[in-house]
Amino acid sequence: MSSAIPGHDMSTPGSGPRSAPVARISRSAVTANARAARARGIHSFSPSVFDADAWGHGAALVQSVLAAEGLTPGDAGGGSLGARELLGVAHPDTTPALRLTGCVLSVKDLRAGEGVSYGFAFRAPSDTRVALVTGGYAQGIVRSLGGVVDVAIAGQRHPIVGRVAMDVCVVEIRDAVVRRGDEALFLGDPAKGEPSLADWVRVTGLRGSELITPVGLRAIREEAE
């Protein structure tokens, strides 16, 4: 079950798939990360956890978890829980709290030599198929991810090809069964073999906080269990 976080639009639950990218913030993941820190003897949190609306995760949600787990404000030193660990932002042994999905808008054949997106930076070396997926740099999917990271559709990973546009990107699906309305996963849990923020960090050279904050602030944001 999920609910909209204040200040972020959401269509009526049960109304069918939405086309706009959705950033789902898992309360249970934040809670699990907080409890793991407490088990290691950490009982305070750094003020940095609230920077930029808790790095796009929602300061109110994060505050309520910290209060429920009995963590108190501390300093920014090594003895306090930081945002990377609490939110699972490209941090080892933690669960990512944010899950970003888009939606397949259309599927089409692409013949050898045909190109996609701005400037036809990608041209098919052979006949293939591509899907147009919602989610672009306006929602925090930075343009440099084109051609170097995957999305997952129905559990299968497919590469983003060409340049990422403002609100969409193109994914090569080849002979996979993909239909309009299917969910496309941009960011998930690497422990489950899903595309992850660590992939984005590795290929862009940016920090996890630089990448994840715009995602949480610009996509439709929901709280999930």
Give the residue among 15, 188, 197 at the shortest CA–CA distance from 102: 188
Query: What is the share, in percent, of the chain residues with pLDDT greater than 70?
Result: 91
From the number of C-beta atoms within 10 Å of its C-beta (0-12, 13-18, 19+), residue 167 rates as middle
pTM equals 0.89
Residue matched to tokens 């013949």: 111
Task: Show the domains of the chain with their CATH numbers.
Answer: 98-224 (2.40.37.10)
What is the pLDDT of the chain when averaged over all its residues?
A: 91
Average pLDDT over residues 86-97: 92
Say what the pLDDT of residue 18 is.
Answer: 63
Say what the pLDDT of residue 69 is.
Answer: 97
114 with 124: CB under 8 angstroms?
yes
Q: Strand 22-26 vs strand 98-110: parallel, antiparallel, or unpaired?
A: antiparallel
